[in-house]
């Protein structure tokens, strides 16, 4: 993928990985549009990166996803890259039954159903382009889950599977399906949970964005950290032992 000359929509682009990618792709010579729920954060991002265009949108709401598609297709007919980045992560104690499960925002909708819906909306639009890209940001926790984030991990695992299926179904079209599987990156994702139980290693967003851009330029269908590349080469059964190491008996998980 050439990094310059694209028109790119990034969901959840006002902070974390999304903002870092918006900055890096803008600097590389592409036009970037970001969307998010909070107008103040979007305007702050635009003040820091004046070339950005912004749109308020809560992708957890189906009607707002459809409005976003209509607005983008009308105002940016040359759009050729969608980055499904928006996500939420919650620490959930499943032993409480449904009390913890339904007491916060719907992770499955934001992390899985919204990207699937947006891909479905944009596929007919992208088929009209000579070349286009659907980029889904899942997580390494979708491959090797952390028990503290059960619904997050389940959603990201499903997004990984969906991306594989989508890539296969679109293989004879001009739409390229790319999956990005980040490690722990410094961001606003689950600040309370991370404060109580900080991951051992966290990448800076700009460093990770640079890593992603190298993967995009190289044309990788999956952009994996070296650790995840190594894990994917192991026999499937070894993932169970890795889960045990990541989730020892003294839960919560000390990642």
Number of alpha carbons in the 13 Å side-chain half-sphere of residue 95: 4
Structure tokens at 177: 């399906």
The number of residues in the chain equals 255
User: Cα(154)–Cα(162) distance, rounded to whole angstroms?
Assistant: 12
133 carries an active-site annotation: no
3-state helix, strand, coil in the chain (%, to 5): 45, 15, 40
Q: Which of 76, 133, 149, 152 is catalytic?
A: 152
All residues at 6 or more sequence positions from 6 whose CB lies less than 8 Å from its CB, including other chains: 25, 30, 31, 80, 81, 133
Q: Are 151 and 90 in contact (CB under 8 A)?
A: yes
- Report the catalytic residues: 152
């Amino acid at each position: 993928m050439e990094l310059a000359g694209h028109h790119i929509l990034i969901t959840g682009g006002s902070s974390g990985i999304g903002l870092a990618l918006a900055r890096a792709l803008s600097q590389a010579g592409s036009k970037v549009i970001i969307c998010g729920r909070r107008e103040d954060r979007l305007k702050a991002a635009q003040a820091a990166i004046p070339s950005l265009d912004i749109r308020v949108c809560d992708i957890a709401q189906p009607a707002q996803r459809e409005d976003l598609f209509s607005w983008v297709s009308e105002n940016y007919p040359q759009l050729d890259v969608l980055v499904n980045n928006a996500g939420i992560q919650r620490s959930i104690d499943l032993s409480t039954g449904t009390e913890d499960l339904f007491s916060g925002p719907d992770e499955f909708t934001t992390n899985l159903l919204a990207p699937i819906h947006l891909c479905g909306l944009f596929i007919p639009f992208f088929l009209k382009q000579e070349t286009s890209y659907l980029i889904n940001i899942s997580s390494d926790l979708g491959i090797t889950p952390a028990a503290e984030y059960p619904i997050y991990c389940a959603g990201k695992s499903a997004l990984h599977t969906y991306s594989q299926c989508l890539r296969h179904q679109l293989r004879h079209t001009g739409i390229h399906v790319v999956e990005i599987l980040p490690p722990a990156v410094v961001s606003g994702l689950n600040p309370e949970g991370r404060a109580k139980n900080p991951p051992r290693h966290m990448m800076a967003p700009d460093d990770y964005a640079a890593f992603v851009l190298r993967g995009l330029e190289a044309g990788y269908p999956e952009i994996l950290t070296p650790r995840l590349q190594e894990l994917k080469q192991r026999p499937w059964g070894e993932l169970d032992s890795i889960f045990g190491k990541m989730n020892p008996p003294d839960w919560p998980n000390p990642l």
